[in-house]
Amino acid sequence: MIDVKHLTENPDLYRASQRARGADESLVDQMLSADATRRSSIAAFEELRAEQKAFGKRVAAAQGEEKQALLAEVKDLAARVKAAEAESGRAQAELDRLQRVFPNLVEDGVPAGGEDDFAVLKTVGSARDFAAEGFTPRDHLEIGELIGAIDMERGAKVSGSRFYFLKGVGARLEIALLQMGLDLAVQAGFIPMITPTLVRPETMQGTGFDVEHDDEIYKLERDDMYLVGTSEVALAGYHADEILELGAEPVRYAGWSTCYRREAGAAGKDTRGIIRVHQFNKLEMFIYATQDQAVAEHRRLLDWEEQMLAKVELPYRVIDTAAGDLGMSAARKFDCEAWVPTQGTYRELTSTSNCTTFQARRLNIRERLVNDDGSKAGTRMVATLNGTLATTRWLVAILENHQNPDGSVTVPAALRPYLGGLEVLPVL
């Protein structure tokens, strides 16, 4: 959630952020009003409480009729104190509600607008000219069926639409990709984590997801638990209500998990193959950093993602996501999109977000501060960041970009050691 004090001191900054997102600017004024009401109601309550305590001393010292008169006043005052306390609670609840729905303050330089208003930061590599090579490229599902890697038909039979089986070289290829990503993460100082995929409502909400209205989230009603769409959720909740000892280096985790998404708004979109599915595997980077480290860490996350894309030899572009497409928690987000030949466009493979202190405020995660002499200097909220190193969707781009005329697939050199030296995924 946002810092109310920062908003009250910089309301125009938050209005500009909401405007860039295409969101409701009036939320700023609602926050200002709610905070003012909260402050005045607290002041009124505390004034009455002080008066009540003073009356208590007068009653204790009084005698006879004076005492009876004071007791009547005390009774009336007690009712007023109770009413003031209730009003203070209502004001705080309203401020809390508004904080829960107010999105993060966007960083300077983030493009304004919606999904199509991103800025392309760079393009790396060139798309293959299949016509010059003398053949028409097959899509990833046709290739996956030819090499015995993907079975959508039986996935649908077992679980319904948008489910699938990865088998044979398909299963091996995904595991190889994730393992290569994990090796890169470990070399960069990340701690490997296999995370829970079911979380409590407070963990899901704390990460920034709207559990009441988000149609993408699977909920287990009987247990009041949620299936995660990314290990970011579990990793964000890992240090909830804790004070971290952050030094010169942030705390970095690499979470390997299965992920679940309802794809509720995807009717008719990407119905063929494994681009948009209900279940997939992902390796997610998650960082707890000091506030002043966050921007630099965000760039490092992007660099690690690009290193992975280079290892699998994919043409891609990096985009600076527009404010209206950031989601609730992110202050800035960079996506890496790989070229998909049969679609003639770039599709997202990785995403990295700087969530600044937004998630930490919701989950109460702070860092301990120290003075130059080593003495304690209080605490402050940490910054959290996340980024994808590998996921099932990568197989789409790998199969299509590295296909051969007969339907076989050449394995990128960096992946071969993870596949026992296999150089080609052959047609069965």
> What residues are labeled active site?
261, 276, 348, 351, 393
Q: Is residue 285 within 8 Å of residue 388, measured between CB atoms? A: yes
Distance, in Å, from the CA atom of 293 to the CA atom of 289, rounded to the nearest integer, reads 6
Distance, in Å, from the CA atom of 285 to the CA atom of 368, rounded to the nearest integer, reads 23
Q: How many residues does the chain have?
A: 428
Q: Is residue 401 within 8 Å of residue 347, measured between CB atoms? A: no
Q: Which residue, 83, 154, 124, is CA-closest to 311?
A: 124
Both tokens of 254, joined, read 């690499």
Q: Which residues neighbour 368 within 8 Å (Cβ) at sequence distance 6 or greater?
A: 243, 244, 245, 246, 376, 379
The full 3-state SS of 73-117, as one line of letters, equals HHHHHHHHHHHHHHHHHHHHHHHHHHHHHCCCCCCCCCCCCCCCC
The b-or-e profile of 231-263 (16+ CB within 10 A means b, else e) is bbbbbbbbbbeeebebeeebbbbbbbbebbbbb
Distance, in Å, from the CA atom of 293 to the CA atom of 249, rounded to the nearest integer, reads 9
**DSSP summary character for residue 412:** P
